[in-house]
Amino acid sequence: MDYKGRTALITGASSGIGAAFARELAARGCQVVLVARREQRLAELAAELESRHGRPAHVVVADLSLPTAPAAVQAATEKLGLHIDVLVNNAGFATYGPFDTIDPDRDHSMVMVNAAAVVDLTHRFLPGMLAKDGGAVINVSSLAAFQAVPFQAVYAASKAFVQAFSESLWAEYRTRGIRVVACCPSATDTEYFQVLGNDDEARVGPKRPPEGVVRDSLRALDKNRPHVVVGYPWKLVAMVPRAMPRAAMARFGEKLMRPRHRP
């Protein structure tokens, strides 16, 4: 894709993969719209990008766990007079532990951010891309999208939703100038595990830098692929559930992800 002169909107842009997407897309010629809850972080990143690349970087503060947030984000872009060419649905978080011990409100907020906001924002910006005969949607999914993940049941389910949603849109719009890709990273060096409150038990494998996730995602977008699993060893891991009974994979996942204090 040619990103020069385009506008990209990135959710969860205050840190991690979102900030890495913002930096890379700005470097490729986009003006960016940075969306997250932490205004100070966004303002600092916007100042950095404007200073480095000489293109506008806009800040939109929004909590995507609120059902009204996507409409507010759209209204903010319209007020700025912006047409969104590239939508990066990156915002998301997880919970970890036995399902009965997790705060229901926390899981509800996660579904709103990880799944509902992804659908709502895509509804709001995809028609404009079609009217301009081109655009791209990048949805940050996860390696967890390919199988059940006990003790992260709702997170895995939300990412499986994002995966199916993305691949369905890819098939619908691939001949209409719209590219859609689901990016599926494994453990990444971000604030994800700090928010989760657990690293050693919930993490599988070493952490990869967020810049590598962005690079692989944009490469897959250039090739118009429906999804990309980041990192060669994990591409093989993502194929294993296709060859094994789902019950066996779920039992294996339970042993792998079981909290250490649980018998």
Q: What are the residue numbers of the active site?
A: 155
Token couple for 145: 């999208």
Quick check: 93 and 195 in contact, CB under 8 A? yes
CA dihedral sign, ordered 261, 149, 66, 59:
positive
DSSP conformation class of 64: T
Backbone angle region of 12, left / alpha / beta, with phi > 0 → left and psi within -120 to 50 → alpha: left
CA dihedral sign, ordered 12, 13, 14, 16:
positive
First to last CA, the chain: 51
Token couple for 33: 């719209």
